Amino acid sequence: MKSRTIILALLIWWLTSSAVAQVSFIGNSRPVFDEVPAASTGLGHIYVLYDTQGVSMTYTASTDRTVVWYTFGEQGGGYAQERTDIVYDGRLSTLPQVEADCGYIIDEGTDRICVWVTDYSKGYLHLNGLSADNAAGDCGTATLNVAGSGEDLVYYTTGGVRHTLDRGMTLTYNTLEWNDTTQWREPVVIEENVASFKNTIVVPAPYCNTSFHLSRDRFLTFWNEGNDVWSDTYVTTAVNVHAQAVQDEREYDNEKKEQGGTTLGGSAPVHIVFTAHCTDAVVHKEWQMSRDSEFSDIELRLNQEEVDETFEDAGITYWRFIGSNADGSCEAYSDVYTVSIGVSELECPNVFSPGSTPEVNDVWKVSYKSIVDFDCWIFNRWGQQIIHLTHPSQGWDGTYHGKLVSAGVYYYVIRARGSDDHQYKLSGDINIIRYKSNPHSGGYDSGGNESTDDDTTVTDGDKKE
Protein backbone atom coordinates (compact mmCIF):
# COMPACT_ATOMS: atom_id res chain seq x y z
CA MET A 1 0.00 0.00 0.00
CA LYS A 2 2.87 2.40 0.93
CA SER A 3 4.59 1.78 -2.42
CA ARG A 4 1.40 2.56 -4.35
CA THR A 5 0.97 5.79 -2.36
CA ILE A 6 4.49 6.95 -3.20
CA ILE A 7 3.99 6.22 -6.93
CA LEU A 8 0.68 8.09 -6.92
CA ALA A 9 2.27 11.08 -5.18
CA LEU A 10 5.05 11.25 -7.75
CA LEU A 11 2.52 11.09 -10.61
CA ILE A 12 0.49 13.96 -9.07
CA TRP A 13 3.70 16.02 -8.62
CA TRP A 14 4.69 15.48 -12.26
CA LEU A 15 1.25 16.46 -13.59
CA THR A 16 1.13 19.53 -11.33
CA SER A 17 4.62 20.71 -12.24
CA SER A 18 3.95 20.26 -15.96
CA ALA A 19 0.75 22.24 -15.66
CA VAL A 20 2.44 25.11 -13.75
CA ALA A 21 5.42 25.55 -16.10
CA GLN A 22 4.40 27.91 -18.90
CA VAL A 23 5.53 30.60 -21.35
CA SER A 24 3.69 33.90 -21.67
CA PHE A 25 4.18 37.29 -23.30
CA ILE A 26 3.64 40.77 -21.87
CA GLY A 27 3.13 43.99 -23.84
CA ASN A 28 1.91 42.39 -27.10
CA SER A 29 -0.81 44.32 -28.93
CA ARG A 30 -2.63 41.23 -30.21
CA PRO A 31 -3.20 37.73 -28.81
CA VAL A 32 -0.37 35.27 -29.45
CA PHE A 33 -1.02 32.68 -32.15
CA ASP A 34 0.12 29.35 -30.69
CA GLU A 35 1.11 26.73 -33.24
CA VAL A 36 1.95 23.18 -32.18
CA PRO A 37 4.30 21.76 -34.83
CA ALA A 38 5.11 18.15 -35.61
CA ALA A 39 7.02 16.32 -32.89
CA SER A 40 9.84 15.68 -35.36
CA THR A 41 10.77 19.39 -35.25
CA GLY A 42 11.79 19.10 -31.60
CA LEU A 43 9.72 22.20 -30.87
CA GLY A 44 6.87 22.20 -28.40
CA HIS A 45 5.35 25.43 -29.69
CA ILE A 46 5.75 28.12 -32.31
CA TYR A 47 4.54 31.47 -31.00
CA VAL A 48 3.51 33.95 -33.69
CA LEU A 49 3.44 37.50 -32.33
CA TYR A 50 1.73 40.32 -34.18
CA ASP A 51 4.93 42.27 -33.54
CA THR A 52 7.66 42.18 -30.89
CA GLN A 53 8.08 45.88 -30.20
CA GLY A 54 8.15 46.28 -26.40
CA VAL A 55 7.17 42.66 -25.78
CA SER A 56 8.74 40.64 -22.98
CA MET A 57 8.71 36.87 -22.61
CA THR A 58 8.24 35.10 -19.28
CA TYR A 59 8.56 31.56 -18.05
CA THR A 60 7.00 30.21 -14.86
CA ALA A 61 9.00 27.26 -13.58
CA SER A 62 7.45 24.20 -11.99
CA THR A 63 10.21 23.91 -9.36
CA ASP A 64 12.55 26.17 -7.42
CA ARG A 65 15.55 25.10 -9.43
CA THR A 66 17.50 27.71 -11.40
CA VAL A 67 16.18 28.24 -14.92
CA VAL A 68 18.65 28.73 -17.77
CA TRP A 69 17.60 30.31 -21.08
CA TYR A 70 19.24 29.67 -24.46
CA THR A 71 18.55 30.97 -27.95
CA PHE A 72 19.34 29.35 -31.31
CA GLY A 73 18.96 30.18 -34.97
CA GLU A 74 19.26 28.41 -38.29
CA GLN A 75 22.04 26.11 -37.05
CA GLY A 76 19.69 24.49 -34.56
CA GLY A 77 19.72 23.76 -30.87
CA GLY A 78 23.20 22.28 -30.91
CA TYR A 79 24.58 25.81 -31.32
CA ALA A 80 22.35 27.49 -28.74
CA GLN A 81 23.81 30.41 -26.77
CA GLU A 82 22.99 31.07 -23.12
CA ARG A 83 21.09 34.30 -22.38
CA THR A 84 22.61 36.57 -19.76
CA ASP A 85 19.84 39.19 -19.75
CA ILE A 86 17.21 37.11 -17.92
CA VAL A 87 15.54 38.69 -14.89
CA TYR A 88 14.56 36.28 -12.11
CA ASP A 89 11.80 36.70 -9.54
CA GLY A 90 11.27 33.43 -7.63
CA ARG A 91 10.01 30.86 -10.09
CA LEU A 92 9.30 33.58 -12.67
CA SER A 93 12.03 34.37 -15.19
CA THR A 94 11.70 37.15 -17.76
CA LEU A 95 13.38 38.13 -21.01
CA PRO A 96 12.75 41.92 -21.02
CA GLN A 97 12.73 42.29 -24.80
CA VAL A 98 11.87 39.20 -26.77
CA GLU A 99 14.08 38.49 -29.72
CA ALA A 100 12.00 37.39 -32.70
CA ASP A 101 12.63 34.79 -35.36
CA CYS A 102 14.77 32.59 -33.16
CA GLY A 103 14.36 29.51 -31.02
CA TYR A 104 14.43 29.30 -27.24
CA ILE A 105 15.49 26.47 -24.99
CA ILE A 106 14.42 26.97 -21.38
CA ASP A 107 15.98 24.47 -19.01
CA GLU A 108 15.02 24.15 -15.36
CA GLY A 109 16.91 20.92 -14.75
CA THR A 110 14.04 18.47 -14.58
CA ASP A 111 12.10 20.06 -17.42
CA ARG A 112 13.25 21.53 -20.70
CA ILE A 113 11.13 23.22 -23.35
CA CYS A 114 12.02 24.27 -26.88
CA VAL A 115 9.96 26.93 -28.65
CA TRP A 116 10.25 29.29 -31.60
CA VAL A 117 9.09 32.93 -31.68
CA THR A 118 8.04 34.54 -34.98
CA ASP A 119 7.43 38.26 -35.57
CA TYR A 120 4.50 38.40 -37.98
CA SER A 121 5.02 42.08 -38.74
CA LYS A 122 8.17 41.21 -40.69
CA GLY A 123 6.10 39.12 -43.09
CA TYR A 124 2.76 40.91 -42.82
CA LEU A 125 0.41 39.82 -45.59
CA HIS A 126 -0.89 42.58 -47.84
CA LEU A 127 -3.45 41.57 -50.46
CA ASN A 128 -4.12 44.44 -52.86
CA GLY A 129 -5.73 42.74 -55.85
CA LEU A 130 -6.31 39.57 -57.83
CA SER A 131 -6.61 39.13 -61.59
CA ALA A 132 -6.88 36.08 -63.83
CA ASP A 133 -4.77 35.86 -66.96
CA ASN A 134 -6.75 34.21 -69.73
CA ALA A 135 -3.86 33.62 -72.11
CA ALA A 136 -4.83 32.42 -75.57
CA GLY A 137 -3.97 28.79 -76.15
CA ASP A 138 -3.44 28.04 -72.46
CA CYS A 139 -5.98 25.25 -72.29
CA GLY A 140 -4.82 23.38 -69.21
CA THR A 141 -4.08 26.08 -66.65
CA ALA A 142 -5.25 29.48 -65.44
CA THR A 143 -2.68 31.98 -64.16
CA LEU A 144 -3.63 34.30 -61.32
CA ASN A 145 -1.72 37.50 -60.62
CA VAL A 146 -1.74 38.56 -56.97
CA ALA A 147 -0.93 42.16 -56.11
CA GLY A 148 0.54 42.45 -52.63
CA SER A 149 3.37 41.22 -50.45
CA GLY A 150 4.15 38.86 -47.61
CA GLU A 151 7.55 37.38 -46.83
CA ASP A 152 7.70 33.74 -45.78
CA LEU A 153 7.38 33.09 -42.05
CA VAL A 154 10.43 30.89 -41.52
CA TYR A 155 11.42 28.78 -38.52
CA TYR A 156 14.11 26.19 -37.82
CA THR A 157 13.87 22.89 -36.01
CA THR A 158 16.14 21.99 -33.14
CA GLY A 159 18.12 20.04 -35.74
CA GLY A 160 18.59 23.13 -37.93
CA VAL A 161 16.11 22.20 -40.67
CA ARG A 162 14.36 25.15 -42.34
CA HIS A 163 10.56 25.19 -42.48
CA THR A 164 7.96 27.76 -43.49
CA LEU A 165 4.75 28.35 -41.58
CA ASP A 166 1.69 27.56 -43.65
CA ARG A 167 -0.32 30.76 -44.01
CA GLY A 168 -3.47 28.77 -44.68
CA MET A 169 -4.88 31.12 -47.31
CA THR A 170 -7.74 29.64 -49.34
CA LEU A 171 -8.23 30.06 -53.08
CA THR A 172 -11.83 29.40 -54.08
CA TYR A 173 -13.38 29.12 -57.54
CA ASN A 174 -15.93 27.12 -59.51
CA THR A 175 -15.37 24.49 -62.17
CA LEU A 176 -17.20 21.56 -63.72
CA GLU A 177 -16.60 17.92 -62.86
CA TRP A 178 -18.23 14.96 -64.56
CA ASN A 179 -20.95 13.26 -62.58
CA ASP A 180 -23.02 10.38 -63.95
CA THR A 181 -26.18 11.92 -62.51
CA THR A 182 -25.75 15.66 -63.06
CA GLN A 183 -23.26 15.31 -65.93
CA TRP A 184 -21.54 18.70 -66.45
CA ARG A 185 -24.56 20.75 -65.40
CA GLU A 186 -23.76 21.66 -61.79
CA PRO A 187 -20.62 23.68 -60.94
CA VAL A 188 -18.52 22.43 -58.05
CA VAL A 189 -16.60 24.63 -55.65
CA ILE A 190 -12.84 24.11 -55.56
CA GLU A 191 -10.94 25.18 -52.44
CA GLU A 192 -7.16 25.05 -52.57
CA ASN A 193 -4.81 25.85 -49.72
CA VAL A 194 -2.23 28.53 -50.52
CA ALA A 195 0.60 28.03 -48.05
CA SER A 196 2.66 31.14 -48.81
CA PHE A 197 2.32 34.42 -50.63
CA LYS A 198 3.19 34.35 -54.32
CA ASN A 199 2.61 36.99 -56.96
CA THR A 200 1.64 34.23 -59.40
CA ILE A 201 -0.63 31.26 -58.72
CA VAL A 202 -1.24 28.61 -61.39
CA VAL A 203 -4.29 26.37 -61.11
CA PRO A 204 -6.02 23.87 -63.41
CA ALA A 205 -8.15 25.83 -65.86
CA PRO A 206 -11.79 25.84 -64.75
CA TYR A 207 -14.37 24.50 -67.20
CA CYS A 208 -16.89 27.27 -66.52
CA ASN A 209 -16.81 31.03 -66.13
CA THR A 210 -15.95 31.92 -62.55
CA SER A 211 -14.53 34.49 -60.18
CA PHE A 212 -11.48 33.63 -58.07
CA HIS A 213 -11.42 34.46 -54.36
CA LEU A 214 -8.22 34.52 -52.29
CA SER A 215 -8.69 34.76 -48.53
CA ARG A 216 -6.45 36.47 -45.97
CA ASP A 217 -4.17 34.11 -44.05
CA ARG A 218 -5.09 32.30 -40.86
CA PHE A 219 -3.06 34.67 -38.69
CA LEU A 220 -4.92 37.79 -39.85
CA THR A 221 -8.16 35.84 -39.55
CA PHE A 222 -7.21 35.03 -35.95
CA TRP A 223 -6.62 38.74 -35.27
CA ASN A 224 -9.71 39.71 -37.29
CA GLU A 225 -7.61 41.92 -39.53
CA GLY A 226 -6.70 42.18 -43.18
CA ASN A 227 -8.80 41.57 -46.26
CA ASP A 228 -9.68 39.09 -48.98
CA VAL A 229 -9.44 39.76 -52.73
CA TRP A 230 -11.61 38.73 -55.69
CA SER A 231 -10.93 38.65 -59.40
CA ASP A 232 -13.24 39.80 -62.17
CA THR A 233 -15.15 37.05 -63.95
CA TYR A 234 -12.80 34.67 -65.70
CA VAL A 235 -14.13 33.61 -69.10
CA THR A 236 -12.98 30.07 -69.68
CA THR A 237 -11.57 28.70 -72.91
CA ALA A 238 -10.75 25.28 -71.48
CA VAL A 239 -12.82 22.36 -72.73
CA ASN A 240 -13.57 18.83 -71.66
CA VAL A 241 -15.84 16.08 -72.94
CA HIS A 242 -17.30 12.86 -71.63
CA ALA A 243 -18.60 10.25 -74.04
CA GLN A 244 -20.29 6.90 -73.80
CA ALA A 245 -21.35 4.18 -76.19
CA VAL A 246 -24.38 2.04 -75.35
CA GLN A 247 -25.05 -1.13 -77.34
CA ASP A 248 -28.46 -2.75 -77.42
CA GLU A 249 -28.40 -6.15 -75.77
CA ARG A 250 -30.30 -9.12 -77.13
CA GLU A 251 -30.55 -12.73 -76.06
CA TYR A 252 -31.30 -15.18 -78.84
CA ASP A 253 -30.50 -18.78 -77.92
CA ASN A 254 -29.52 -19.67 -81.48
CA GLU A 255 -27.25 -16.69 -82.15
CA LYS A 256 -23.52 -17.29 -81.79
CA LYS A 257 -21.84 -14.83 -79.41
CA GLU A 258 -18.34 -13.40 -79.44
CA GLN A 259 -16.32 -14.86 -76.57
CA GLY A 260 -15.03 -12.45 -73.90
CA GLY A 261 -13.57 -8.99 -74.35
CA THR A 262 -15.03 -5.55 -73.86
CA THR A 263 -15.09 -4.49 -77.51
CA LEU A 264 -18.38 -3.27 -78.88
CA GLY A 265 -19.98 -5.17 -81.73
CA GLY A 266 -20.33 -8.90 -82.24
CA SER A 267 -23.01 -10.49 -84.36
CA ALA A 268 -24.64 -8.06 -86.82
CA PRO A 269 -26.84 -6.16 -86.90
CA VAL A 270 -25.55 -4.19 -83.92
CA HIS A 271 -27.27 -1.04 -82.70
CA ILE A 272 -25.12 1.46 -80.77
CA VAL A 273 -25.91 4.96 -79.55
CA PHE A 274 -22.85 7.18 -79.12
CA THR A 275 -23.45 10.17 -76.84
CA ALA A 276 -21.12 13.03 -75.93
CA HIS A 277 -21.48 15.61 -73.17
CA CYS A 278 -19.49 18.84 -73.34
CA THR A 279 -18.36 21.57 -70.96
CA ASP A 280 -19.43 25.17 -71.39
CA ALA A 281 -16.73 26.42 -73.76
CA VAL A 282 -17.18 23.66 -76.35
CA VAL A 283 -18.55 25.15 -79.58
CA HIS A 284 -17.43 22.72 -82.28
CA LYS A 285 -18.60 19.14 -81.78
CA GLU A 286 -17.74 16.16 -83.95
CA TRP A 287 -17.96 12.39 -83.87
CA GLN A 288 -15.30 10.79 -86.07
CA MET A 289 -15.11 7.30 -87.57
CA SER A 290 -12.00 5.67 -88.99
CA ARG A 291 -10.80 2.21 -89.92
CA ASP A 292 -7.41 3.19 -88.54
CA SER A 293 -6.98 3.28 -84.77
CA GLU A 294 -4.69 6.32 -85.13
CA PHE A 295 -7.38 8.20 -87.12
CA SER A 296 -4.91 9.08 -89.88
CA ASP A 297 -7.77 8.67 -92.37
CA ILE A 298 -11.16 9.82 -91.06
CA GLU A 299 -13.98 8.43 -93.18
CA LEU A 300 -16.94 9.97 -91.39
CA ARG A 301 -17.48 13.25 -89.53
CA LEU A 302 -20.77 13.96 -87.80
CA ASN A 303 -21.26 17.40 -86.22
CA GLN A 304 -23.58 16.34 -83.43
CA GLU A 305 -23.46 15.13 -79.84
CA GLU A 306 -25.42 11.91 -80.41
CA VAL A 307 -25.00 9.32 -83.12
CA ASP A 308 -27.49 6.48 -83.53
CA GLU A 309 -25.83 3.82 -85.65
CA THR A 310 -26.75 0.30 -86.77
CA PHE A 311 -23.77 -1.78 -87.91
CA GLU A 312 -24.46 -4.39 -90.58
CA ASP A 313 -21.10 -4.71 -92.33
CA ALA A 314 -18.31 -6.99 -91.12
CA GLY A 315 -15.08 -5.34 -90.05
CA ILE A 316 -13.57 -3.08 -87.40
CA THR A 317 -14.25 0.64 -87.06
CA TYR A 318 -13.00 3.17 -84.52
CA TRP A 319 -15.06 6.00 -83.10
CA ARG A 320 -14.18 9.05 -81.03
CA PHE A 321 -15.59 12.45 -80.16
CA ILE A 322 -13.73 15.75 -80.33
CA GLY A 323 -14.88 19.06 -78.88
CA SER A 324 -13.16 22.43 -79.30
CA ASN A 325 -13.69 26.02 -78.25
CA ALA A 326 -14.74 28.91 -80.49
CA ASP A 327 -11.37 29.54 -82.13
CA GLY A 328 -10.23 25.92 -82.05
CA SER A 329 -7.29 26.65 -79.76
CA CYS A 330 -8.40 24.14 -77.15
CA GLU A 331 -9.52 20.59 -77.95
CA ALA A 332 -10.67 17.61 -75.91
CA TYR A 333 -10.96 14.02 -77.09
CA SER A 334 -13.07 11.19 -75.77
CA ASP A 335 -11.90 7.61 -75.39
CA VAL A 336 -11.72 5.62 -78.61
CA TYR A 337 -14.50 3.07 -79.06
CA THR A 338 -13.73 -0.04 -81.10
CA VAL A 339 -16.63 -1.69 -82.92
CA SER A 340 -15.89 -5.16 -84.31
CA ILE A 341 -18.54 -6.88 -86.43
CA GLY A 342 -17.96 -10.56 -87.15
CA VAL A 343 -18.37 -12.41 -90.45
CA SER A 344 -21.54 -14.33 -91.04
CA GLU A 345 -22.35 -17.97 -90.29
CA LEU A 346 -25.52 -19.94 -90.98
CA GLU A 347 -26.15 -23.62 -90.18
CA CYS A 348 -29.36 -25.58 -90.41
CA PRO A 349 -30.31 -28.62 -88.32
CA ASN A 350 -32.27 -31.44 -89.98
CA VAL A 351 -33.81 -33.26 -87.01
CA PHE A 352 -36.03 -32.17 -84.11
CA SER A 353 -38.78 -33.69 -81.99
CA PRO A 354 -41.63 -31.30 -81.14
CA GLY A 355 -44.12 -32.51 -78.57
CA SER A 356 -41.66 -34.88 -76.93
CA THR A 357 -39.55 -33.43 -74.14
CA PRO A 358 -40.32 -29.73 -73.49
CA GLU A 359 -37.42 -27.37 -74.26
CA VAL A 360 -35.24 -30.24 -75.49
CA ASN A 361 -34.81 -30.04 -79.25
CA ASP A 362 -38.48 -29.21 -79.60
CA VAL A 363 -38.08 -26.16 -81.87
CA TRP A 364 -36.35 -26.07 -85.24
CA LYS A 365 -34.00 -23.07 -85.51
CA VAL A 366 -30.96 -22.20 -87.55
CA SER A 367 -27.67 -21.45 -85.80
CA TYR A 368 -26.32 -18.11 -87.01
CA LYS A 369 -24.08 -15.11 -86.62
CA SER A 370 -24.18 -11.74 -88.37
CA ILE A 371 -27.17 -12.46 -90.60
CA VAL A 372 -28.73 -9.12 -91.59
CA ASP A 373 -31.45 -10.31 -94.03
CA PHE A 374 -33.31 -13.58 -93.62
CA ASP A 375 -36.26 -15.45 -95.12
CA CYS A 376 -37.07 -19.09 -94.51
CA TRP A 377 -40.01 -21.05 -95.88
CA ILE A 378 -40.93 -24.52 -94.62
CA PHE A 379 -43.07 -26.84 -96.76
CA ASN A 380 -44.58 -30.28 -96.43
CA ARG A 381 -43.87 -32.96 -98.99
CA TRP A 382 -46.73 -31.73 -101.20
CA GLY A 383 -45.25 -28.23 -101.43
CA GLN A 384 -47.74 -26.67 -99.05
CA GLN A 385 -46.19 -23.79 -97.03
CA ILE A 386 -46.27 -24.51 -93.31
CA ILE A 387 -44.58 -21.32 -92.01
CA HIS A 388 -42.56 -18.32 -93.18
CA LEU A 389 -39.78 -17.09 -90.87
CA THR A 390 -38.43 -13.53 -91.38
CA HIS A 391 -35.72 -13.36 -88.71
CA PRO A 392 -32.97 -15.90 -87.96
CA SER A 393 -33.89 -15.93 -84.26
CA GLN A 394 -37.31 -17.31 -85.09
CA GLY A 395 -38.05 -21.02 -85.12
CA TRP A 396 -40.72 -23.57 -86.02
CA ASP A 397 -42.34 -25.42 -83.14
CA GLY A 398 -43.63 -28.22 -85.39
CA THR A 399 -47.23 -27.00 -85.54
CA TYR A 400 -49.58 -26.04 -88.33
CA HIS A 401 -52.75 -24.10 -87.54
CA GLY A 402 -52.00 -24.63 -83.85
CA LYS A 403 -51.69 -28.41 -84.01
CA LEU A 404 -48.56 -30.56 -84.05
CA VAL A 405 -47.80 -32.03 -87.45
CA SER A 406 -47.09 -35.72 -87.74
CA ALA A 407 -43.64 -37.23 -87.87
CA GLY A 408 -42.03 -37.24 -91.27
CA VAL A 409 -39.95 -35.22 -93.67
CA TYR A 410 -40.46 -31.49 -94.30
CA TYR A 411 -38.43 -29.08 -96.39
CA TYR A 412 -36.95 -25.62 -95.96
CA VAL A 413 -35.77 -22.96 -98.39
CA ILE A 414 -33.62 -20.10 -97.06
CA ARG A 415 -32.56 -16.84 -98.67
CA ALA A 416 -30.28 -14.75 -96.45
CA ARG A 417 -27.48 -12.18 -96.50
CA GLY A 418 -24.57 -11.88 -94.09
CA SER A 419 -22.65 -8.89 -92.73
CA ASP A 420 -19.83 -9.83 -95.08
CA ASP A 421 -22.35 -9.62 -97.99
CA HIS A 422 -22.32 -13.39 -98.37
CA GLN A 423 -25.55 -14.52 -100.07
CA TYR A 424 -27.05 -17.68 -98.65
CA LYS A 425 -29.32 -19.89 -100.78
CA LEU A 426 -30.00 -23.01 -98.77
CA SER A 427 -32.51 -25.82 -99.02
CA GLY A 428 -32.82 -29.13 -97.26
CA ASP A 429 -35.00 -31.49 -95.31
CA ILE A 430 -36.28 -31.38 -91.75
CA ASN A 431 -37.01 -34.68 -90.07
CA ILE A 432 -39.54 -34.76 -87.27
CA ILE A 433 -39.07 -37.66 -84.87
CA ARG A 434 -41.66 -38.98 -82.44
CA TYR A 435 -40.85 -41.20 -79.48
CA LYS A 436 -43.17 -44.04 -78.45
CA SER A 437 -42.90 -42.92 -74.81
CA ASN A 438 -44.41 -39.55 -75.77
CA PRO A 439 -47.17 -40.45 -78.24
CA HIS A 440 -48.37 -37.73 -80.54
CA SER A 441 -52.01 -36.84 -79.91
CA GLY A 442 -52.99 -35.96 -83.39
CA GLY A 443 -52.30 -33.29 -86.00
CA TYR A 444 -51.28 -33.09 -89.63
CA ASP A 445 -49.11 -35.49 -91.56
CA SER A 446 -46.38 -34.35 -93.89
CA GLY A 447 -48.94 -34.29 -96.64
CA GLY A 448 -51.20 -31.88 -94.81
CA ASN A 449 -53.80 -34.47 -93.73
CA GLU A 450 -54.83 -35.04 -90.12
CA SER A 451 -52.97 -38.04 -88.73
CA THR A 452 -51.83 -39.84 -85.56
CA ASP A 453 -48.99 -41.75 -87.19
CA ASP A 454 -45.85 -41.60 -85.02
CA ASP A 455 -43.48 -43.48 -87.37
CA THR A 456 -40.98 -41.64 -89.52
CA THR A 457 -37.90 -42.30 -91.57
CA VAL A 458 -35.00 -39.94 -90.93
CA THR A 459 -33.22 -38.59 -93.98
CA ASP A 460 -30.05 -36.51 -94.13
CA GLY A 461 -28.57 -33.45 -95.44
CA ASP A 462 -29.00 -29.92 -96.62
CA LYS A 463 -29.09 -29.14 -100.28
CA LYS A 464 -27.22 -25.95 -101.14
CA GLU A 465 -27.62 -24.05 -104.36
* Whole-angstrom distance, CA of residue 359 vs CA of residue 348: 18
Mean pLDDT of the chain: 89
Exposure on the CB side of residue 217, measured as CA atoms within 13 A = 24
> Which segment of 120-129, 272-281, 321-330, 353-362 scores lowest on mean pLDDT?
353-362
- Region of 128 on the Ramachandran plot (φ > 0 left; ψ -120 to 50 alpha; else beta): alpha
pLDDT in tens, 225-272: 999 999 999 999 999 999 999 999 999 999 998 755 568 999 999 999
| Neighbouring C-beta atoms of residue 327, cutoff 10 Å | 11
pLDDT in tens, 210-225: 999 999 999 999 999 9
What element of type H or E holds 90? none
- Give the rounded percent of residues in the chain with a pLDDT score beyond 90: 82
The answer, yes or no, to whether the previous bond of 269 is cis (omega within 30 of 0) is yes
What is the DSSP track for 355-406?
TSSTTSS-SB--EEESEEEEEEEEE-TTS-EEEEE-STT--B-SEETTEEBP
Residue (of 152, 298, 310, 172) closest to 229 by Cα position: 172
Is there a contact between 87 and 96 (Cβ–Cβ < 8 Å)? yes
pLDDT of residue 355: 85
* Whole-angstrom distance, CA of residue 434 vs CA of residue 266: 37
pLDDT of residue 14: 31
As a whole number, mean pLDDT of residues 304-326 equals: 97
* Whole-angstrom distance, CA of residue 231 vs CA of residue 143: 12
* Residue 345 predicted with pLDDT over 90: yes
* Residue 1 predicted with pLDDT over 70: no
pLDDT in tens, 367-394: 999 999 999 999 999 999 999 999 999 9
pLDDT in tens, 262-314: 689 999 999 999 999 999 999 999 999 999 999 999 999 999 999 999 999 99
Is there a contact between 410 and 432 (Cβ–Cβ < 8 Å)? yes
As a whole number, mean pLDDT of residues 93-103 equals: 96
pLDDT of residue 283: 97
Residue (of 369, 372, 378, 374) closest to 350 by Cα position: 378
Residue 6: pLDDT band (50, 70, 90) is very low
